[in-house]
């Protein structure tokens, strides 16, 4: 795990075992067979496969987009080889029960393993991520028959999965979906409609593809209350699990994107020939609730993906800054002296430190979210499980949006450190930037996350989730007070948290009476909230680093912990102060945008 | 000029004739033949050529990068056709004397015309921009022979020009250039060395290419004080102006970039066969000063290019937001009602208003800079000319950097408004975003602009330039006080300006004694300074709009002026408040980045 190019392994170990204390999970019955050694073995295997099979074709599949030859979607052979290796090592079922052939790893460990594949090759790992998200839905809501027909195949990777939500005329407005599902006499449904932006919608990477499709059963209620969820396989599956004839799902076109080019993005036609068979998942008209279950995990996945692209760029620019000689200090322009490495320049170090603060702070958040999934599933009391679920629900829009915005900014800084070279396709950083730009859009745009957070999450259950967050943040603030160098940070975070709570209180009446106005500046609230949460993840890390530093006997560890403290300080001095500004603008209910008439543009 | 796709012509007319009062320039002897009609005719011609010849292949040349067939660099035929049209309409010499075949247009008008080509197709227009910048240097510093051999050909577009500064081992550190220029007996020099990132370095678009090359005459002083400037033509030019044999300039490779793909970016080898002939421009060892003359105009050009890419994306997303139905208001979720156009959503309007504020504010700044060039050249007194030169010198780093950063952000917002479609190559906005990312890098990175501003420009001549800026901004603040709705803005700008001056005063001692520390956070200072300047350009516009609104009799004008006032308000409420924060961090001389040891990363 020493290859710096896809991860700083020291940081990963710190996050998992020092901050999140993942080792303690082995005390729980579900993970009793596990130990720090089995956790490390999983990480090592994932790292090796990621480096050897995924990272090696990241540029290749960017340059060779999926092609449709009239019959099949053709991808570079390396994509399938990588996914075969991932299948063979069992990571598609990393968190699943032993009886399904899973490793029964805690979520925090399986997310950590997956983060390595994402870092190595976002596009190729997407096929696996979609498959796992899809399998989760069938496992939770599918019938016994659906599980028998699809689940083992998905866990093994014989079938891959998709999420087929979006339609051309509806975009983010799921209320306006029109794909229909007409009941057949045998209990199946005939699906008819068009879907767009379906990642992994067609390929030859697996024997079968299982689409999870949102559609309307005729006669159901309008809007989101009339949406149902269906399994629609590319090849029908016989009762014995063998593959039957081709279902009526046709590739209507491949979509060409700015980045993330290795993942097929498709337009799909369901039922053009009137012969597309789907099976209802769960109850009719409950499709949106089921899909949100999948989407919430997908949103953590998006956040984690954004982090890993940022992380990869950070490491690349760090290497470059250490190796590339360039210029001299401002107070020494003597051209006869050798040039200094870029990292010696203050502004380059700023760009490295900012990247470190963004990507390691966001990584901490995503792994914490995964740890909450474990708590929700295996927490030691009903209260612990319920609280974890609530907290996760509150944090999901932040987990999805903050990395999408700030780890993209990290990618921009990585380009900047490379100078002109960073803008060329000879260096990897421009691809990370292009790939990462998608994350603010898919699985619910930034704007949708903002409305979800302010309009729903902070007010749900009389603000119970927010109170829970305040309690957790408060705990970290208390812990920080035991470390003198962190006092100022503890005070700053306490102020920001109190400011955040006051802002929510101030907005409540307007949220109830005039939601359009209260939500008009939800974006500023989301940014402020995200900064508070990331400041918290940094203070948590700083508390651990500060304690460890006192007892550190290795120079490498000492350097590492000092770096953590310095990055924390940077975030508190350079980023956290913006929170007060954003919250004050939120509270002001400024109506500048609302009052901008369309004809004034 | 009604095609909304490359410009809002109403805005252009407002900037030129209402804010900058370009019409008054016709009272000056040099522009006596001109009138509002000839100005408009030039704009109309540029607009027509830009729309018909440039915009039409913007995506095509992105998709078909320059190819080297072993002999020649091949570009799509449309590139040459567009440049032929630009040549034929005389825009390469738009500002030049009649005797050279020029139009003798004021700079502000020729920049305005060029902005239309840039908006329509950044990559293709780059060949023209480089040629004009190159010709300016030869016109100003070249010998009579050099002018005879090259200048008319450059003005006519028979020859195109390049700037060959950067070398692989030196990057931004011009001090470390090693290309040599050894005197020959006939007064010419033998050039030997390698240059990288030379835009327009090879192609078949013109009969000849004139490279302006920085190189060292052996025996000269080390560092930047020993750099000289040379003309190095691709084909040698005989005394009668006819083309002679091929010079020893070889294409060593084409560079493949994230964006801006239609412009060849090259590695060039000079003198591989020992037969590369160059001619000294001006005096030996004065190359850097000459090049800076060219670079300062090039930096305005970079800023203007960044603006136009932002502007283009803004207009595209505005059209999309008006046409695309999507969702309903937060307080009306009834799915039986039709979907609303995107522009009806508050968060979409925020993204449009932010783009408008960024691109129109930055456009105002770039055109103001061009107007300063006119004042510097044709101002009515020595004082007026000297002051314009000083102010331009101060503002150049802002003109270069602010649009590069914020109009790129505008491009990101344009993608966001398009949702998933914006990320595809079926829509134009992703290309603008890719193209625009270069602008923070070339012609001096963001970091270099920051050091130039804080380390040199604000302190030069005992702060005379800054005092001049304060006087100009103060004048606008006074004018705004005559308009009640602008009082709060006037006060806010006055506070920000005073804060800026106080910050400079606070930093002066450290700049003198500990420049590395004072400059460590120059980036924050540059951002704050830029925001103050853009707030000023908005207040100037608002003063004009507010006065015009009172007398407006047309509904279209009324809408337009209201839009200006609203965008100004948005910038003052949402962006200007960040200045105090950035300046306070600057003043604190925070040393977090300086103290981050390289081994702590």
pLDDT in tens, A534-578: 999 999 999 999 999 999 999 999 999 999 999 999 999 999 999
pLDDT at position A62 is 97
Query: From the CA of B249, how many Å to the nearest CA of chain A?
Result: 22
pLDDT digits (tens, 9 = 90+) for B13-32: 999 999 999 999 999 999 99
pLDDT digits (tens, 9 = 90+) for A41-99: 999 999 999 999 999 999 999 999 999 999 999 999 999 999 999 999 999 999 999 99
For residues B550 and B1, which has the higher predicted lDDT (pLDDT)? Answer: B550
Cα–Cα distance between A525 and A587 in angstroms, integer?
9
Of the candidates A527, A528, A510, the one whose C-alpha atom is nearest the C-alpha of residue A519 is: A510
Cα–Cα distance between B47 and B51 in angstroms, integer?
6
Residue of A nearest to B456 (CA): A330
pLDDT digits (tens, 9 = 90+) for B498-531: 999 999 999 999 999 999 999 999 999 999 999 9
Looking at every residue in chain A, the average pLDDT score rounds to 96
pLDDT at position B3 is 43
Residue of A nearest to B174 (CA): A327
Cα–Cα distance between A134 and A194 in angstroms, integer?
19
CATH code: domain B160-285 is: 2.40.110.20
Label the pairing between strands A208-216 and A159-164: parallel
Residues of B in contact with A223 (CB under 8 A): 333-336
What mean pLDDT is predicted for residues A408-433? 97
Going by pLDDT thresholds of 50, 70 and 90, the confidence category of residue A296 is confident
Q: Name the residue facing A175 among B335, B442, B597 (closest C-beta).
A: B335
Query: From the CA of B450, how many Å to the nearest CA of chain A?
Result: 10
Q: Which residues of B are catalytic?
A: 443
Q: Give this prediction's pTM.
A: 0.98
Q: B9-144 and B160-285 share one CATH topology? A: no
Cα–Cα distance between A581 and A590 in angstroms, integer?
13
Q: What is the per-residue burial (b if ≥16 Cβ within 10 Å, else e) of B526-555? A: bbbbbbbbbbbbbbbbbbbbbebbeebeee
What mean pLDDT is predicted for residues A297-309? 94
pLDDT at position B1 is 34
pLDDT at position A172 is 86
pLDDT digits (tens, 9 = 90+) for B403-419: 999 999 999 999 999 99
Q: Are B338 and B286 in contact (CB under 8 A)?
A: no
Query: From the CA of A286, how many Å to the nearest CA of chain B?
Result: 17
Looking at every residue in chain B, the average pLDDT score rounds to 96
- A38: pLDDT strictly greater than 60: yes
B327/A175 CB distance under 8 A: yes
Count of Cβ atoms closer than 10 Å to residue B260 Cβ = 24
Residue of A nearest to B560 (CA): A600
Q: Name the residue facing B329 among A516, A562, A566 (closest C-beta).
A: A516
Going by pLDDT thresholds of 50, 70 and 90, the confidence category of residue B297 is confident
What mean pLDDT is predicted for residues A137-165? 96
A·B CB contacts under 8 A: 277
What mean pLDDT is predicted for residues A192-211? 97
Q: Are A217 and A285 in contact (CB under 8 A)?
A: yes
pLDDT at position A2 is 37
Q: Are B395 and B533 in contact (CB under 8 A)?
A: yes
Q: Are B480 and B545 in contact (CB under 8 A)?
A: no
What mean pLDDT is predicted for residues B187-195? 98
pLDDT at position B523 is 97
Residues of A in contact with B515 (CB under 8 A): 330-331
Cα–Cα distance between B428 and B121 in angstroms, integer?
11
Going by pLDDT thresholds of 50, 70 and 90, the confidence category of residue B6 is very high
Q: Are B479 and B543 in contact (CB under 8 A)?
A: yes
Residue of B nearest to A448 (CA): B347
Cα–Cα distance between B391 and B397 in angstroms, integer?
11
Residues of A in contact with B455 (CB under 8 A): 330
- A3: pLDDT strictly greater than 70: no
CATH superfamily for domain A9-144: Acyl-CoA dehydrogenase/oxidase, N-terminal domain (1.10.540.10)
CATH topology of domain A159-285: Butyryl-CoA Dehydrogenase, subunit A; domain 2 (2.40.110)
Q: Name the residue facing A581 among B516, B577, B590 (closest C-beta).
A: B577
Three-state DSSP class for residue B379: coil
Query: From the CA of A450, how many Å to the nearest CA of chain B?
Result: 10
For residues A332 and B64, which has the higher predicted lDDT (pLDDT)? Answer: B64
Partnered with residue A277 across adjacent β-strands are A190
What mean pLDDT is predicted for residues B70-85? 97
Among all chains, which residue has been given the structure tokens 């250490």?
A322
Cα–Cα distance between B1 and A599 in angstroms, integer?
19
Distance of CA B524 to CAs A185, B587, B590, Å? 68, 10, 11
Count of Cβ atoms closer than 10 Å to residue A506 Cβ = 15
B412/A451 CB distance under 8 A: no
What mean pLDDT is predicted for residues A445-458? 96
Which architecture characterizes domain B286-330+338-444 according to CATH? Up-down Bundle (1.20)
| Tokens linked to B234 | 């691709």
Going by pLDDT thresholds of 50, 70 and 90, the confidence category of residue A240 is confident
Distance of CA A54 to CAs A47, A78, A112, A120, Å? 10, 8, 16, 5
Domains in chain B: boundaries: 9-144, 160-285, 286-330+338-444, 446-591
Best residue in B330, B444, B527, B556 for a mutation probing chain A (most A CBs within 10 Å):
B330
Residue A511 per-residue DSSP state: H
Going by pLDDT thresholds of 50, 70 and 90, the confidence category of residue A333 is confident
Going by pLDDT thresholds of 50, 70 and 90, the confidence category of residue B478 is very high
B596/A349 CB distance under 8 A: yes
pLDDT at position A346 is 95
Query: From the CA of B96, how many Å to the nearest CA of chain A?
Result: 32
- Report the greatest alpha carbon distance in chain B: 87
pLDDT at position B80 is 98
Query: From the CA of B286, how many Å to the nearest CA of chain A?
Result: 17
- A528: pLDDT strictly greater than 90: yes
Q: Which residues of A are catalytic?
A: 443
B523/A339 CB distance under 8 A: no
B569/A581 CB distance under 8 A: no
Residues of A in contact with B257 (CB under 8 A): 423-425, 430
- Report the greatest alpha carbon distance in chain A: 87
Distance of CA A173 to CAs A117, A257, A366, A472, Å? 32, 22, 27, 34
pLDDT at position B140 is 95
Residues of A in contact with B173 (CB under 8 A): 326-328, 339
Cα–Cα distance between B523 and B593 in angstroms, integer?
12
B516/A331 CB distance under 8 A: yes
Q: Name the residue facing B176 among A224, A339, A578 (closest C-beta).
A: A339
């Amino acid at each position: 795990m020493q290859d710096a190019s896809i991860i700083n392994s020291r940081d990963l170990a710190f996050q998992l075992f020092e901050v999140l204390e993942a080792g303690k999970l082995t005390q729980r019955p579900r993970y009793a067979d596990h130990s720090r050694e089995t956790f490390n073995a999983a990480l090592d295997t994932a790292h090796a496969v990621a480096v050897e099979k995924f990272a090696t074709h990241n540029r290749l599949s960017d340059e060779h987009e999926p092609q449709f030859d009239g019959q099949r979607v053709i991808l570079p052979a390396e994509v399938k080889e990588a996914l075969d290796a991932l299948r063979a090592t069992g990571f598609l079922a990393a968190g699943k029960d032993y009886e399904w052939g899973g490793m029964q790893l805690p979520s925090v460990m399986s997310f950590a393993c997956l983060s390595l594949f994402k870092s190595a090759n976002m596009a190729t790992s997407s096929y696996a991520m979609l498959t796992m998200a899809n399998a989760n839905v069938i496992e939770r809501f599918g019938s016994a028959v659906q599980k028998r027909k699809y689940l083992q195949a998905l866990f093994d990777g014989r079938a891959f999965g998709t999420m087929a939500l979006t339609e051309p005329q509806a975009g983010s407005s799921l209320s306006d979906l029109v794909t229909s599902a007409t009941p057949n006499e045998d209990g199946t449904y005939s699906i008819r409609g068009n879907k767009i932006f379906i990642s992994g919608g067609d390929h030859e990477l697996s024997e079968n593809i299982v689409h999870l499709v949102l559609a309307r059963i005729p006669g159901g209620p309008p809007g989101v209350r009339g949406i149902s969820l269906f399994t629609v396989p590319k090849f029908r599956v016989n009762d014995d699990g063998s593959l039957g004839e081709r279902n009526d799902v046709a590739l209507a076109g491949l979509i060409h994107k700015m980045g993330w080019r290795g993942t097929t993005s498709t337009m799909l036609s369901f039922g053009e020939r009137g012969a597309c068979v789907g099976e209802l998942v769960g109850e009719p008209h409950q499709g949106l609730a089921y899909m949100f279950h999948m989407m919430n995990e997908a949103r953590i996945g998006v956040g984690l993906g954004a982090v890993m692209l940022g992380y990869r760029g950070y490491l690349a620019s760090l290497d470059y800054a250490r190796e590339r000689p360039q210029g001299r200090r401002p107070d020494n322009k003597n051209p006869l002296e050798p040039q200094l490495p870029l990292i010696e320049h203050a502004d380059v170090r700023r760009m490295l430190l900012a990247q470190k603060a963004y990507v390691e702070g966001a990584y901490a958040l995503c792994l914490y979210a995964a740890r909450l999934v474990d708590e929700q599933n295996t927490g030691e009391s009903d209260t612990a499980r319920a609280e974890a679920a609530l907290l996760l629900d509150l944090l999901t829009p932040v987990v999805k949006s903050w990395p999408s915005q700030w780890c993209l900014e990290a990618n921009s800084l990585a380009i900047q450190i490379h100078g002109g070279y960073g803008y060329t396709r000879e260096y990897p950083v421009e691809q990370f930037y292009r790939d990462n730009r998608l994350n603010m859009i898919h699985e619910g745009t930034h704007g949708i996350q903002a409305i979800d957070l302010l309009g729903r999450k902070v007010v749900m259950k009389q603000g119970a989730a927010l109170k829970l967050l305040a309690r957790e943040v408060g705990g970290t603030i208390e812990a920080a007070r035991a470390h003198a160098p962190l006092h100022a940070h503890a005070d700053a975070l306490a102020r920001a948290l109190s400011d955040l709570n006051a802002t929510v209180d101030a907005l409540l009446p307007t949220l109830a009476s005039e939601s359009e106005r209260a939500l008009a500046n939800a974006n500023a609230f989301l940014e402020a909230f995200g900064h508070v949460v990331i400041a918290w993840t940094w203070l948590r890390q700083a508390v651990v680093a500060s304690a460890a530093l006192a007892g550190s006997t290795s120079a490498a560890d000492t350097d590492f912990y000092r770096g953590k403290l310095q990055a924390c300080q940077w975030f508190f001095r350079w980023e956290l102060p913006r929170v007060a500004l954003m919250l004050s603008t939120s509270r002001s209910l400024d109506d500048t945008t609302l009052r901008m008439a369309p004809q004034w543009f």
